[in-house]
């Protein structure tokens, strides 16, 4: 079982060895763990992610799960395993396309808070990157939106205030720039892009955001908007005492640019008590995800396809490629190798791979 050691740190069970010994994370990392999970479809990746989120929950650390294809939605879980039943009973489900994605920009820092203008400015800066606006468009539109007047209008109207500002400024904007801005940010102006009150993650809670109804174009934009919001709040110390773990499925498709929220959390999240689980079927593509995966402290490898297995063997055990390729590609469902800082029933392990399995 997991074990809370102080305000933020926790000792989290990662699995069980063939001999029955329990494998734990390094308790000095706690809620600032950065974990990569890689396994082909049907090998137990989702079950492992659920198991880990429950471990953090039991330790009193709030958990956020971003589910882009609806894998974790309780209404679709038909399994009666102990793991799935407990997960179903624990999660707070939010359907992003009907309930919306929370955003503190509209609710958290309203009125005369000294943080609100700073937060608003940062949010604008991130938004242009998420919506792939050109540098020319970003440089022209930012000064129009980053004003006290538009900020106040945002609090009253939401993102429609941006659209109105752009449309009313056509005399100072080229038609090309105005059209690009409206096109890039069109999802923000639609009814499906709802932004209700900023979330509160209570200790031990698991909040699941089902993004599957948003459409492929909007899923990761919605996710990034939420992650930006969380990261900006983290920099104000919001999660320092409670910690927060964010689990992201299909993470190879996420927004992984250096200026994005995920990259920022990987680099500096530990200081703010924020941890990540990045789960994927193929960590080799794209390169940005490969780099992100390699920045994780803990890596859990389930059964791999042969190309992945060979790549892993070459990277981890270059002197034993043939043998390890076979081991990675023939792992039973629910079994995995752990790489990174860990503890085996009180004994510290800092090198090599350790084979473990899930108890479902």
User: Same domain for 152 and 78?
Assistant: no
Residue 345 within any structural domain of the chain: yes
List beta partners, residue 299: 36, 339
Residue 287 within any structural domain of the chain: yes
Q: pLDDT-based confidence at 37, cuts 50/70/90?
A: very high
Vertex 178: Cα angle to 172 and 183 (nearest 5): 170
Residue 105 has a pLDDT of 43
Residues of the chain above pLDDT 70, percent? 78
Rounded Cα–Cα distance for residues 163 and 240 (Å): 36
User: Same domain for 240 and 158?
Assistant: no
Residue 125 within any structural domain of the chain: yes
User: Same domain for 74 and 218?
Assistant: yes
Residue 307 within any structural domain of the chain: yes
Please check the confidence at residue 97 and state whether its pLDDT lies above 80.
no
Least Cα distance to 260 among 118, 129, 133, 121 occurs for 129
Task: Please tell me which of 32-46, 89-103, 286-300, 336-350 the model is most confident about, judged by mean pLDDT.
Answer: 32-46
User: Same domain for 94 and 173?
Assistant: no
User: Same domain for 222 and 167?
Assistant: no
For the chain, the domain total comes to 2
Domain membership of residue 40 as a residue range:
3-102+201-357
User: Pick the residue with more confidence: 67 or 113?
Assistant: 67
User: Same domain for 58 and 171?
Assistant: no
Torsion of CA 28, 234, 97, 41, to 10 degrees: -30
Query: How many angstroms separate the Cα of 209 from the Cα of each of 72, 97, 332, 339, 350?
Result: 9, 10, 30, 29, 34
User: Same domain for 231 and 96?
Assistant: yes
Residue 164's SS3 state is helix
Which of 189, 223, 247 is the last residue in one of the domains? 189
Which of 189, 210, 225 is the last residue in one of the domains? 189
List beta partners, residue 245: 63, 275
Residue 106 has a pLDDT of 39
User: Same domain for 7 and 90?
Assistant: yes
User: Same domain for 20 and 162?
Assistant: no
Which of 165, 189, 213 is the last residue in one of the domains? 189
Residue 74 has a pLDDT of 65
The contacts of residue 218 (CB under 8 Å, 6+ apart) are: 187, 192, 193
User: Same domain for 149 and 20?
Assistant: no
User: Pick the residue with more confidence: 195 or 71?
Assistant: 71
């Amino acid at each position: 079982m997991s074990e809370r050691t102080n305000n933020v740190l926790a000792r989290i069970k990662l699995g069980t060895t063939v001999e029955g010994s329990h494998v734990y994370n390094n308790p000095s990392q706690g809620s600032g763990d950065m974990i990569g999970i890689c396994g082909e479809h049907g090998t137990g990746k989702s079950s492992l992610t659920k198991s880990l989120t429950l471990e953090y929950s039991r330790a009193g650390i709030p958990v956020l799960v971003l589910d882009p294809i609806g894998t974790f939605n309780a209404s679709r879980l038909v399994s009666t395993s102990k793991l799935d039943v407990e997960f179903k009973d624990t999660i707070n489900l939010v359907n992003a396309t009907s309930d919306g994605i929370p955003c503190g920009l509209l609710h958290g820092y309203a009125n005369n808070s000294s943080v609100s203008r700073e937060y608003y400015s940062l949010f604008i800066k991130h938004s242009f990157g998420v919506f792939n606006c050109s540098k020319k468009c970003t440089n022209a539109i930012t000064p129009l939106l980053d004003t006290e007047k538009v900020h106040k209008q945002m609090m009253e109207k939401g993102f429609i205030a941006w659209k109105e500002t752009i449309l009313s400024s056509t005399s100072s904007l080229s038609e090309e720039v105005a059209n690009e801005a409206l096109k890039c940010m069109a999802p923000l102006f639609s009814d499906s892009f709802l932004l209700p009150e900023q979330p509160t993650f209570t200790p031990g809670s698991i909040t699941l955001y089902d993004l599957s109804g948003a459409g492929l174009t909007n899923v990761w934009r919605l996710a990034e908007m939420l992650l930006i919001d969380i990261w900006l709040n983290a920099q104000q110390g919001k999660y320092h005492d409670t910690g927060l773990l964010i689990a992201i499925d299909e993470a190879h498709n996420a927004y992984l640019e250096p200026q994005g929220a995920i990259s920022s959390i990987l680099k500096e999240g530990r200081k703010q008590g924020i941890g990540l689980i990045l789960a994927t079927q193929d960590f080799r593509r794209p390169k940005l995800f490969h780099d992100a995966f390699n920045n994780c402290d803990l890596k859990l490898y389930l059964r791999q396809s042969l190309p992945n297995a060979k790549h892993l063997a070459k990277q981890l055990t270059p002197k034993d490629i043939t043998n390890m390729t076979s081991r990675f590609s023939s792992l039973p469902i629910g079994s995995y190798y752990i790489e990174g800082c860990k503890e085996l029933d009180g004994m510290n392990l800092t090198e090599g791979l350790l084979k473990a399995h899930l108890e479902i």
